[in-house]
Structure 1
Amino acid sequence: MKHFQVSWITGSQVLVGALFLVGAQFALSSLDASGKYLMGVDIALPLLTLCLVRYGVHMLLALALVIPAKGWRAVRCKRPGAQLLRGLSMLAATMSFFTTLHYLPLAQATAINFLAPLLVLAVAPWILKERIYLSRWVACSIGLLGVLVVIRPGSGLSTEGTLYGLLTACIMAVQYITSRKVAADDPYTTLIWSGTVGTVLLLLGLPLYWDMAVQALARLSAWQWLVLLGTGFWGCLGHYLQIQAYWHAPASLLSPFIYLQIVSATTLGWLVWGDIPDMVTWVGILVVCASGMTIGLIEWRRK
């Protein structure tokens, strides 16, 4: 992945990077919406079966995309332990978030996830050995306040879904931290490992849920099969577009654009389920997004 000096960045590079990142957020929201649809009461696809197909298709697409261009050397990584830990945290985050979506609307669940990058900044002095900055603690506190507004009593959100949402944000923070640990590897190597770790683990456990998986898959219509296979496509595409985004511009400049995912999540939630957050929930969502975007700009200026 390229390492930029800020003075070398042109407006066109940032624009292209931002467009790739917005595309990635739409792809990942499509993954989330597909998972929520498949786990709904009408289909009730088991979580492990859903995740196996999601990661298996991701792995096959990543191999088909990368190996012809870079050869099998692209599979080799410099820090296999860190890649394994990242893959584990990514699988855990996927399972936790799909469970969250079983209970919560897409927009509200996505807003809770926005707490994850703020948690990373808050724990960076201890985990990543970075300097302590008051601005990071302030941003994390404000972001947490926004999340509390979203999940406030009387919001109508499921308590169980809310707890899973908060758990997902914590797991995703671990995933972000481990992503920094594998920065020495080629991003396309990480793309392959992202799908492979989850696939291998779920295949190892397949004997435990084989009968349930076969029965569930046999019930699916052609359209539902297309949506299921699409989970792997959207997941792989989202990560690929993220790689392209950070290849064109540094993370510090692109971080504010991450929060545009709330637009795609809200749009898909409205189109598929007719879910529209109420005004107070929108205030909480905007507080979370504003805290993340502001600290992103502060971090860029600091660098």
Structure 2
Amino acid sequence: MPQATSHAKLWVGIACLVLGQWTLSLLDAAGKLLAQSGYHVIMIAWMRYSLNTLLMAAVLAPHFRRRHGRSILHTRRPQLQVFRAALLLLSTVVFFSVLKIAPLSEGTAMNFCAPLFVLAISPWLLKEKSYASRWVAVAVGFSGMLIVMRPGGSISPLGVMLGLLSALVFAAVVVLTRKTNQTDHPMVTLFYGGLVGMVISSAIVPFFWTPHTPSTTEWLILASTGVTSTVGHLLVNSAYKHAEASLLAPYAYLQIISATTMGWLVFGQLPDALTAVGIGIICAGGIGIAFVEHRRVQSDAPGPATP
């Protein structure tokens, strides 16, 4: 029975992760639509973070207080939380800038290099052990990224530079998330990410406001960014409550499918054959190291006690 329960929780975790990734692809598609329509990425980020924070304050914060007996703003590392949240806002702005000029599938694939960058820097910043398998995965992922970003491909030089910057900033966010989650509840980190993003973007959005009044459709798309970001991140967070990160890591790369599907349905864009090969190599590097890391965790885990 315990094994059946474990398998059931794993499938619930996988379902939450896949649904969350598809929901976040809706967010990315909305951001790309708005950016291509002339809305500044700062305005898009402001709407996304403001609605996201208001929804979390209305739903998540009261639930957290009832369950844990303290405010969701309670943190042991306030400066680190604020710094991480500011980097998260920067990551969002840069990524939306990438999507403005790059196809959805290619933009998403470049961002998937972030976990590989984390593997490369974790021995120094997180004091984690360095393994040859991790460096192989980084090399494989980087070779795939070079194919996606090749001269003459579908991404302009500016898109290439922004894609690299987006992956590097997001890698920094991942590292800081690991640090904050060592002392604070993940929901606290999630809420600070939205709150600080809302405060900073609210302070600067008047300087980037789009001069014309949004239509009803555009307002709905803007509003959808807050809803999809909230639902998507809550689903992803729930996934990691039901299953280990090492087990879920390979399934995160299924977002490439949702990004490609949304790119085709909304923008009529599909990667060419060579770009698809590059995307596949990036995913292979990430999925391969995820399986290796899971096997390593399983082998390092203490066995059952002997009578």
Structure 1 counterpart of 2:38, from 44, 49, 53: 44
Offset, 1:85: 1.7
Which residue number in structure 2 is paired with residue 196 of structure 1?
Answer: 195
The code of the aligned residue for 1:165 comes to G
Q: TM-score, normalised by structure 2?
A: 0.91
Q: Name which of 244, 248, 257 aligns with 2:251.
A: 257
Percent sequence identity is: 41
Which residue of structure 2 aligns with residue 293 of structure 1? 287
Distance in 1, matches of 2:80 and 2:10, equals 29
Of residues 209, 213, 236, the one that matches 1:213 is 209
Q: Aligned to 2:129, what secondary structure does the other structure show?
A: coil
What's the CA shift string for 1:33-79, capped at 9, x where partnerless? 10000011xx2011221111111001001111112323361221121
For structure 1, the 5+ residue unaligned runs are 1-6
Matching of residues 162-173 of structure 1 within 5 Å: 162-173=160-171
1:141 aligns to what?
A: 139
- For residues 250-272 of structure 1, give each alpha carbon's deviation from its aligned partner in whole angstroms, at most 9, with x where no partner exists: 11111101100001000000001
Instruction: Work out the CA distance in 2 between the residues paired with 1:169 and 1:214.
Output: 27
Q: Give CA-to-partner distance per residue, 1:13-34, whole Å, 9 cap, x none.
A: 1111111111111111111110
Question: Is the CA contact (8 Å cut-off) linking 1:62 and 1:191 kept in structure 2?
Answer: no
1:27 aligned partner: 23
The one-letter amino acid of 1:215's match is P
Equivalent position amino acid for 1:167 in 2: L
Between the aligned partners of 1:125 and 1:28, the Cα distance in structure 2 is 30
Aligned partners of 2:40 and 2:210 also within 8 Å: no
Do the aligned residues in 2 keep the contact of 1:93 with 1:171 (CA within 8 Å)?
Answer: yes
1:4 corresponding residue in structure 2: none
Q: Secondary structure at the match of 2:11?
A: helix
Moved more, 133-142 or 190-199: 190-199
The number of aligned residues is 290
Q: Distance in 2 between matches of 1:126 and 1:201?
A: 30
Contact 1:48–1:202 (Cα < 8 Å) also in 2? yes
Deviations 1:236-291 (A, max 9, x none): 11111111000001111111011000010000000011101111111111111011
Q: Is the 8 A contact 1:88 1:197 kept in 2?
A: yes
Q: TM-score, normalised by structure 1?
A: 0.92
Compute the displacement of 1:8 (Å): 10
Q: What is aligned with 1:273?
A: 267
Q: Which amino acid aligns with 1:10?
A: S
Matches of residues 61-80 of structure 1 in structure 2 within 5 Å? Answer: 61-71=55-65, 73-80=71-78
1:114 has 2:112 as partner: yes
In structure 1, C-alpha distance between the alignment counterparts of 2:176 and 2:166, rounded to whole Å: 15
Letter in 1 for 2:114: A
Find the residue that maps to 1:74 and give its secondary structure. coil
